[in-house]
Amino acid sequence: MNEIVWPTIDSKHLIVDSKQMLVLEKEMFSDGMSQEALMEKAGIQISRWLFKRKSLLKHGVTVLIGPGHNGGDGAVIARELFLKGFLVQVWCPFPIKKTLTINHLNYLTSLGVTNLVEPPDAIGKDLWIDAVFGNNQKRKVDNKLIKLFNQKFHNKYGKVMSIDIPTGLSPDSGEPFLDNAVKANYTLAIGLNKIGLMQDSALPFIGELHHIDVGVPTNKLSKIEQKIFKVTYQDLKNIDLPALPKNSHKYKRGRTLLISGSEKYPGAAYLALKGAISSGAGFISAVLPELVAESIWQVSPEIVLKGTMQSNQNGNASLFSALKNIDLSAYDSLAVGPGIGIDNNDWQKSKDFLVGFEGLLILDADALNRISESQSGSNFFLERKSKTWITPHYKEFLRLFPNIKCETNVGLALKAAKKFNISILLKGANSIIADNKNAWQLSGTDSQTARAGLGDLLFGFIAGSSAIDLTFCRNITTDFFAKYVLLHSSAASKCKSGSNASAIGDELSKIMRNRKTRQIS
């Protein structure tokens, strides 16, 4: 079993599907936690969240109460807000089915809260709370209701907040059940983060995602076999990377070899090398196209040129011409891919060098495209006996693994990682890092990380950082991979001098220099 060392196993970080959440709730009920107590706790915690944001409440609140227990949560919220003196009204678009929810609704009306007969006016400035359907929704919802919510959202006269899951959105896939779902300014996930909320497809609907802790016991979370973690910039403070001795020489601070670029794509090589340099690796070597090799000393004189790649008539680089003359055993990590172009004949001749490499092999971009178009395809990964990390975006992933199906990107990554015994970074708005057991999904990251060239920069940074950490512990785990990706994204977020790859590379260098745990002078 893979040991989880980062982040902490708790309700803030763990992501579950709807079935896992239901199982956890049933276990809590069987242990003595009552349904009434859990509903009270959820409603009160959300009310406290709102009390800290009184600007949302100043024009009043309309709570749309659904037929089940999500509606009961909404009724508790309505009660707490009303008792604190805020203007509150409720509306039930469907007949109430759960006794608990009926009881809360009856108490609300006894207090004097208005229960609307007709739908509320979407033009008003009041806050609408979507407590219609939560984690248990499994099918399409009345489109008239969704249109009413989204009229409110698009008019921008008042905010929309969804409890647990926006109505009409699948909690597992993050896709609308119909053509649309409620678009919320805020979504408050109760108990644990739901996997659907973390998918790129959910981003147009969830707005700001916040977690509401209701005290799910940690010992129950630890028992979940396949763990998926939500990681944000707040988790950077808990990153614990190995500290290297201050007196270690350059060959003990990471040795990496990058193979990147071609006559068609020379810029990819420059950016990958900049990423490697920003990691602080002690010894960075490169195999480059002749066009880049001629000038690299002017741009990055610290790079050791180990060979040059010839190009075919289409401008694509030849790996075989360089690999046959290099002792790969001298390196901790070998990174191949960005900008090399596609040459199937060259791949067939050169792939055995990569299969036999005993260090960490990192593959990106055109290296992955070459594998996709090769005779053996993704079976290449099964030929390797040593650790392999790959960094595809969604379309590259589909070309590599056309037979792997799942309704979420995190599921795709986990299935491919397990089948081919690799670690995968599936790049996207909420990028995913997965191995054969667990996954880490980035959340709340900066949109500036989705720009041309930043993938090349990240590729080089992963190569250099992994080489450093491999000198300290020879079998680095996939959580290291996730840490590198989060650090790179953080650099893009913090960069004040621009959002291009070069500027972000400089910011990444600053971050790594300032990390006390690295102690790289």
What is 237-514's CATH number? Answer: 3.40.1190.20
Q: What is the DSSP letter of 233?
A: G
pTM greater than 0.85 (yes/no): yes
Query: Which carries the bigger pLDDT value, residue 449 or residue 261?
Result: 261
Q: What is the pLDDT of residue 252?
A: 67
Cβ neighbors of 410 (< 8 A, separation 6 or more) are: 15, 195, 198, 199, 228, 426, 432, 434, 439, 441
Reported confidence tier of residue 519, pLDDT bands at 50, 70, 90: very low
What pairing do the DSSP bridges indicate for beta strands 255-259 and 333-336? parallel
Is the per-residue pLDDT at 453 higher than 70?
no
Min mean pLDDT across 246-260, 275-289, 495-509 is at: 246-260
Is the per-residue pLDDT at 146 higher than 50?
yes
- Within 132-184, strands assigned E span 160-163
Using one digit for the tens of pLDDT, what is the confidence trace for 106-138?
999 999 999 999 999 999 999 999 999 988 888
Using one digit for the tens of pLDDT, what is the confidence trace for 334-382?
999 999 999 999 999 999 999 999 999 999 999 999 999 999 999 999 9
Q: What is the pLDDT of residue 183?
A: 98
Alpha helices in 123-162 (DSSP H): 143-155
Is the per-residue pLDDT at 484 higher than 70?
yes
Reported confidence tier of residue 253, pLDDT bands at 50, 70, 90: confident
What radius of gyration do the chain's Cα atoms show? 26
What is the average pLDDT value for the chain, to the nearest integer? Answer: 92
- Vertex 203: Cα angle to 19 and 210 (nearest 5): 65
CA separation for the pair 35, 302 (Å, rounded): 64
Q: What is the pLDDT of residue 365?
A: 95
Domain boundaries, the chain: 14-225, 237-514
Domain 14-225 top-level CATH class: alpha beta
Min mean pLDDT across 41-55, 174-188, 285-299, 379-393 is at: 285-299
Q: What is the pLDDT of residue 245?
A: 58
Using one digit for the tens of pLDDT, what is the confidence trace for 227-237?
999 999 999 98
Is the per-residue pLDDT at 449 higher than 70?
no
CA separation for the pair 374, 4 (Å, rounded): 35
Reported confidence tier of residue 26, pLDDT bands at 50, 70, 90: very high
Q: What is the pLDDT of residue 520?
A: 37
